[in-house]
Amino acid sequence: MSGTVIEVEGLTKRYGDNHAVAGIDLSVPRGEVFSFLGPNGAGKSTAVEILEGFRTRSGGDVSVLGEDPGRAGRVWRSRIGIVWQKETMVPKMPVREVVRHFAGYYPRALGSDEVLEMVGLSEKAASLPDALSGGQRRRLDVALGIVGRPELLFLDEPTTGFDPRARREFWDLIQGLARQGTTIVLTTHYLEEAEFLADRVCVIANGRIRAVDAPGQLGGRASAQATVSWTEDGRRHERRTDTPTRLVAELSARIPGEIPELSVHRPTLEDIYLDMIQDDQAHEEVAV
Ligand SMILES: Nc1ncnc2c1ncn2[C@@H]1O[C@H](COP(=O)(O)OP(=O)(O)OP(=O)(O)O)[C@@H](O)[C@H]1O
């Protein structure tokens, strides 16, 4: 199935005088990995919880899987998977039973052993949730998010506490789900996670969208100047240029052998993101 999974127009949410979401428009096609980035308090969770149907909105139009999340029923909910920022409350029973218990809520759930295998928890199938490490507990949350074969999966800071190998395995799992057509909305503070997983990232600050683009294109990143640095005649040199290849060729012609301490640096997603957030904060301060 193709089409648009999430359509948002003019979404707002106020808490008293606080405009937590101040008018956002979004469109997420089926099968996309879409990531929200933004500083603490930017409005990400508020926006996502409105999409999930767990928070009311103050204004705007929202359609998720063809329905208004504020009014959708159980069948709609069974098509959605959620990994919350906080630990999912689970009964005190072995991990395999916990997964089986949650599977019972969905019409076409995966088998519990299959899910545990997918999240790398097979060895802990007989353990109680309390006996899992922080990262393993988080994997159980992920298992509960995907057990219903969701068409749309929300992941709110899913890899907090994962060791580097577990994080990489989790990324592979998410890529696999996306390849099979699952649409994924990821909220993360790990920029390398967004860069690895997301087709598009959406930077939110102060309740407004600052930019939406592919991670490699965000904020003109692809065409941003490179910084070339090297050591010559015992001194460190640094130059910003649109044509780093030409500069390196010139250096190579001038300096015999390897160019000492040569590096070519283009802005990372983090560089671009931090600039964007800083700009935004500066604007807010001027506006106040
Ligand atoms: N239930 C609530 N009542 C009042 N204000 C709230 C409530 N929930 C959130 N807010 C406020 O709305 C704003 C946005 O909060 P939100 O939780 O959406 O941010 P966030 O981008 O998800 O932050 P984080 O990265 O810290 O999770 C903040 O100013 C927050 O204090």
Interface predicted TM-score of the whole assembly (ipTM), two decimals: 0.96
Q: Does 182 contact ligand 1 (Cβ within 6 A)?
A: no
In angstroms, rounded to a whole number, what is the distance separating the alpha carbons of residues 248 and 250? 5
CATH label of the domain that carries residue 111 = 3.40.50.300
Residue nearest to atom 25 of ligand 1 (CA): 40
Q: Does 46 contact ligand 1 (Cβ within 6 A)?
A: yes
Same structural domain, 241 and 147 = no
CB neighbourhood size of 236 (10 A): 10
Number of structural domains (the chain) is: 2
Residue range of the domain that includes 75: 4-214
In angstroms, rounded to a whole number, what is the distance separating the alpha carbons of residues 263 and 265? 6
Which of 189, 214, 239 delimits the end of a domain? 214
Q: Is 79 helix (H, G, I), strand (E, B) or coil?
A: coil
Q: Does 56 contact ligand 1 (Cβ within 6 A)?
A: no
Mean pLDDT to the nearest integer, 10-20:
95
In angstroms, rounded to a whole number, what is the distance separating the alpha carbons of residues 261 and 83? 44
- Roughly how many angstroms between the first and final C-alpha of the chain, as a whole number? 47
Q: Does 21 contact ligand 1 (Cβ within 6 A)?
A: no
Would you state the pLDDT for residue 221?
83
Same structural domain, 44 and 83 = yes
Phi, psi dihedrals of residue 206, rounded to the nearest 5°: 50, 40
Same structural domain, 260 and 155 = no
Same structural domain, 91 and 128 = yes
* Beta bridge partner(s), residue 237: 230
Residue nearest to atom 4 of ligand 1 (CA): 15
284 pLDDT higher than 80:
no
In angstroms, rounded to a whole number, what is the distance separating the alpha carbons of residues 18 and 15? 5
In angstroms, rounded to a whole number, what is the distance separating the alpha carbons of residues 214 and 196? 11
d(CA 270, ligand 1 centre) in Å: 23
Q: Does 54 contact ligand 1 (Cβ within 6 A)?
A: no
Q: Report percent pLDDT > 70 for the chain.
A: 96
Which of 214, 245, 277 delimits the end of a domain? 214
For 265, the token pair is 């640096």
Q: What is the 3-state secondary structure (H, E, C) of 248-269?
A: HHHHHHHCCCCCCCCEEECCCH
Question: Which residues, at least 6 apart from 284, have a Cβ–Cβ distance to it below 8 Å?
Answer: 206
Q: Does 42 contact ligand 1 (Cβ within 6 A)?
A: yes
Q: Report percent pLDDT > 90 for the chain.
A: 73
87 secondary structure, DSSP code: P
In angstroms, rounded to a whole number, what is the distance separating the alpha carbons of residues 83 and 100? 17
Mean pLDDT to the nearest integer, 36-63:
95
Residue nearest to atom 16 of ligand 1 (CA): 43
Tens of pLDDT, residues 183-206: 999 999 999 999 999 999 999 999
Mean pLDDT to the nearest integer, 56-66:
97
> What pTM was computed for the model?
0.87
d(CA 20, ligand 1 centre) in Å: 7
Same structural domain, 237 and 184 = no
For 215, the token pair is 């991670």
For 83, the token pair is 């990994």
**What average pLDDT does the chain have?**
91
Q: Does 18 contact ligand 1 (Cβ within 6 A)?
A: yes
Same structural domain, 267 and 233 = yes
Same structural domain, 77 and 208 = yes
Composition of the chain by helix, strand, coil, percent to 5: 35, 25, 35
